[in-house]
Amino acid sequence: MCTQKRAYKFRFYPTNEQKQMLARTFGCTRFVYNWALRLKTDAYHKLQRRLSYEDLSSLLTDLKTQEAYTWLNEVSSVPLQQTLRHLDNAFLAFFEKRVKYPAFKKKRNKQSASYAASAFTFRHGVLRLAKMKDPLDIVWSRSLPAQVVVSSVTVSKDAAERYFVSLLVEEPIPYLTPTDVTIGADLGLKSFVVLSDGQIIGNPRFFRQDEKKLAKAQRRYARKQKGSKNRDKARRQVARIHARIADRRTDFLQKLSTRLIRENQTICVESLRVKNMIKNPCLSKAISDVGWGQFVTLLEYKAGWYGRHVVRIDTWEPTSKRCFDCGHIVDSLPLNVRHWTCPECGIHHHRDLNAAKNIRSVGLTVLNACGEAVRPGAEKAKPGKPQRSRKSKK
């Protein structure tokens, strides 16, 4: 059993008064984020100085006292301070080379505001936010754990103008019963995933199902006059179609990842470089629709919750071209070849099933080597001789 922070997300329907307060809160947090981002960028490029969270917090206090920015005092000060912390975390992720440089927030994108424990009350399923008289009308689609303590609340509105509230709690999560089952998973486009035990899960292609409807809505949106109410209605219609596609894809990935985690002790997957793969002009739309990166992320954090293992193998492993039975590697295997026969041993292979078996085999090797990136046939570095990495060859 481990204690983890877990977020429970629910939809809620605000009153007109709450909508106005939330709109002001979203606007203020967006302004503070963009204002702080501009200050940090200019201070670094012009003055070679890095502004910390404490510096920005002090400057924000001075900004509120200015007559031109007194409207910042109309909302709770907690979401504004939380915005500065989010910006600080965004820069930390950027310096660790996990994300791109922080971008300015836009009004038409997703809006959010975070409340710390001092800015809300939650008792007996009733949630009240600061500066609001009435509690939020939340649709409790699932129950919270008993005697749970909510540490923070995040209220958001997506482009389709749906309101959500996310409750962050810390709860003990019991580990699942250990099992000896280990599988390899080969992610693809024709089939979403092929498992080493022979299971084949098809690719739902959610974007393709609504592609024509989305194109029609986008053409209708493009013809509307800018700034008109009809254009805003058409924009919401496009956003609703995008939300439908994203919700269905997320639901599919959540259910599949949970099932695999519950049934298997170790799951071996290939490290796919999705950002490079979507540069292919013929496959970029299909790769973006399938959601490989999100699926692996779900597997990894759920494995941490329930005491399972997810092993990533090297991207350059020839899992498709290597015969699982004899180990022979063919010189070339185009993508349109779905079945092939090994010229060494004569075994007929299903391309994806053979790859899944090889992924499982290599993943077990990595796992037994205590997490080291071990590949079959890789030469170990000799003492005193530095080992070259792939990055040095580029």
Catalytic one among 197, 352, 372, 379?
A: 352
| CA separation for the pair 127, 332 (Å, rounded) | 60
Helix axes 292-306, 229-263, angle to 10 degrees: 50
Tokens representing 375?
Answer: 């590949």
Task: Assess whether 74 carries a catalytic annotation.
Answer: no
200-202: strand order across its sheet = 200-202, 191-195, 182-187, 266-270, 309-313
Taking the alpha carbons at both ends of the chain, their separation in whole angstroms is 44
Estimate the share of the chain in helix, then strand, then coil, as percent rounded to the nearest 5: 45, 20, 35
| CA separation for the pair 250, 259 (Å, rounded) | 14
Catalytic one among 186, 232, 247, 344?
A: 186
Tokens representing 345?
Answer: 């041993």
Residue 122's beta-bridge partner residues?
A: 127
Task: Assess whether 270 carries a catalytic annotation.
Answer: yes
| CA separation for the pair 204, 324 (Å, rounded) | 28
Amino acid at 212: K
> Could you tell me if 127 and 14 are in contact, meaning their C-beta atoms sit under 8 angstroms apart?
no
Catalytic one among 137, 270, 314, 379?
A: 270
Place of tokens 């922080």: 102
Beta strands in 220-285 (DSSP E): 266-270
Q: Which residues are catalytic?
A: 186, 270, 352
